[in-house]
């Protein structure tokens, strides 16, 4: 059963009816969201529980990514103002890792978001600023080495006060790229996640954010605007922690489905040969061939892309289009981002072959050959309705 509701951070127990909540006008559209009422879980063996999932969803159903991309991508119109196409924030970046938050944030801009912010440590900020003047960089995070133990509480409150001034403005929050694993930094980010939920801001968790969430499942469990994007190495500990079993590739669809359901209906995008996307109710796959080159940073492109497409899907949740009106916006955002990244990676590989780097893929996100590679059909012209990710003639 599907119902529309407003989300806050105090979610009722499973099997309860969730009513509409009142929210500030700036976040009302986030509350136009479809959620599934989840049942309780038995203590049967994992194999028996997986059998129940099989009856809920078709296995290995390939998503109609082309149709979804067309449906959720907003038109480019001269009447729109800055910010209406998306305001994305990335929480990540420390002195060791500065590239990952940049890749996520700049990918969001390349796809079509209007504004992209990065909240990082003071050491990382000058480097990230130097990568691109397009990004708005906030050097507010701290690591343990730079503060005394007696000052940690005060610093945490200062960080939260600073980010709280911005959170309500964002359409989506990406947590984890280049975050690192400093204990104090992770504690601060945990509080940021809680604040984002209180304001109903969608949260994309990737990279070191998955390490944090795996060790503190309550941070996202039961929050239907949360998306986890694990790779094979990040997926294994998540499966072990939540389902207490090993990864089962032969029943990968059912396992993703059960993991999402067990975590209260959040969305899981499991990266792999085929990306598997489940939200506790259905599972879709995206199998479009991308690139055999596995350079680091592609996951960061994906997290920034999901943030943009998810915000677009939420913004169009009232549109009377059966392709999107009855589908979980988090699922739509993941499908669109997965398909576009794969096409961009394929286009970059055609040009650079083995020397392909993440920056080459980012450069291809808005190129016409990505569309020609198969995202849109020859009979469909984006010139006619001005839909586009970067320009009228582009996807």
Write out pLDDT tens, residues 96-128. 999 999 999 999 999 999 999 999 999 999 999
Is 295 marked within a binding site? Answer: yes
- Confirm whether residue 296 is marked as ligand binding: yes
d(CA 381, CA 387): 9
**Token pair belonging to 268:** 């899981």
| Residue 86 is assigned to a ligand binding site | no
Averaged pLDDT of the chain: 82
30 — pLDDT class (breaks 50, 70, 90): low
Task: Work out the pLDDT band at 29, boundaries 50, 70, 90.
Answer: low
Contact 23, 38 (CB under 8 A): no
Burial class (CB in 10 A: 0-12, 13-18, 19+), 168: middle
For residue 291, say whether it is annotated as part of any ligand binding site.
Answer: yes
CB 276 within 8 Å of CB 247: no
Residue whose tokens read 């990568």: 131
Q: Does 139 appear as a known binding residue?
A: no
**299 labeled part of a ligand binding site:** yes
298 annotated ligand-binding residue: yes
Strands 115-121 and 203-205: unpaired
Higher per-residue pLDDT: 279 or 28: 279
Flag whether the pTM goes above 0.75.
yes
- Residue 232 known to bind ligand: yes
64 known member of a binding site = no
272 is in an annotated binding site: yes
Q: Is 24 annotated as a binding residue?
A: no
Is 366 labeled as ligand-binding? no
Chain position carrying tokens 């690591």? 143
Any bridge partners for residue 89, and if so which?
A: 117, 173
CA 230 to chain centre: 11
Does position 10 have pLDDT exceeding 70, yes or no?
no
pLDDT of 333-389, one tens digit each? 999 999 999 999 999 999 999 999 999 999 999 876 564 444 433 332 333 344 444
**According to the annotation, is 273 in a ligand binding site?**
yes
Q: Is 297 annotated in some ligand binding site?
A: yes
pLDDT at 320: 66
Q: What is the mean pLDDT of residues 238-256?
A: 96
Domain ranges for the chain, please list them.
65-375
241 known member of a binding site: no
Structure tokens at 346: 């394929």
Taking residue 247's Cβ as centre, other Cβ atoms within 10 Å add up to: 15
206 is in an annotated binding site: no
In angstroms, rounded to a whole number, what is the distance separating the alpha carbons of residues 260 and 224? 10
294 among the known binding-site residues? yes
Structure tokens at 7: 């989300």
Q: Please tell me whether 26 is known to bind a ligand.
A: no
292 labelled ligand-binding = yes
Q: Is 234 annotated in some ligand binding site? A: yes
- What is the CATH code for 65-375? 3.40.1190.20
């Amino acid at each position: 059963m599907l119902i529309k509701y407003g989300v806050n951070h105090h979610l009722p127990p499973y099997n309860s009816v969730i009513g509409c909540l009142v929210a500030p006008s700036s976040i009302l559209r986030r509350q136009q969201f479809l959620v599934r009422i989840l049942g309780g879980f038995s203590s049967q063996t994992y194999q028996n529980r997986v059998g129940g999932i099989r009856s809920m969803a078709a296995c290995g159903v390939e998503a109609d990514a082309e149709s979804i991309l067309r449906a959720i991508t907003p038109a480019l119109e001269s009447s729109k103002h800055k910010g209406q196409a998306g305001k994305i924030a990335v929480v990540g970046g420390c002195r060791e890792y500065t590239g990952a938050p940049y890749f996520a944030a700049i990918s969001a801009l390349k796809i079509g978001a209007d504004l992209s912010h990065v909240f990082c440590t003071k050491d990382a900020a000058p480097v990230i600023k130097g990568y691109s003047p397009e990004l708005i960089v906030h050097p507010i995070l701290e690591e343990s080495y730079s503060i005394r133990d007696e000052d940690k509480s005060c610093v945490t409150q200062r960080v939260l006060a600073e980010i709280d001034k911005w959170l309500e403005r964002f359409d989506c929050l990406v947590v984890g790229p280049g975050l690192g694993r400093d204990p104090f930094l992770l504690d601060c980010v945990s509080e940021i996640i809680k604040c984002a939920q209180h304001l109903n801001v969608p949260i994309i968790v990737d990279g070191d954010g998955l390490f944090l969430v795996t060790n503190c499942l309550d941070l996202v469990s039961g929050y239907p605007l949360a998306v986890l994007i694990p790779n094979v190495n990040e997926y294994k500990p998540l499966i072990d922690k939540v389902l207490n079993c090993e990864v089962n590739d032969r029943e990968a669809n059912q396992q993703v489905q059960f993991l999402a359901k067990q975590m209260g209906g959040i969305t899981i995008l499991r990266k792999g040969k085929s990306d598997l996307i489940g939200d506790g109710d259905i599972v879709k796959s995206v199998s479009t061939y991308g690139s055999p080159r596995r350079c680091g940073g592609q996951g960061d492109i994906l997290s920034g892309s999901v943030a943009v497409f998810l915000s677009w899907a939420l913004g169009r949740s009232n549109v009377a289009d059966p392709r999107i009106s009855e589908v979980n916006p988090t699922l739509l955002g993941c499908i669109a981002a997965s398909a576009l990244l794969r096409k961009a990676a394929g286009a970059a590989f055609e040009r650079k072959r083995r020397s392909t780097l993440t920056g080459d893929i980012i450069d291809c996100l808005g190129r016409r050959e990505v569309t020609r590679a198969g995202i849109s059909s020859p009979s469909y012209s984006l010139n006619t309705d001005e839909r586009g990710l970067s320009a009228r003639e582009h996807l």
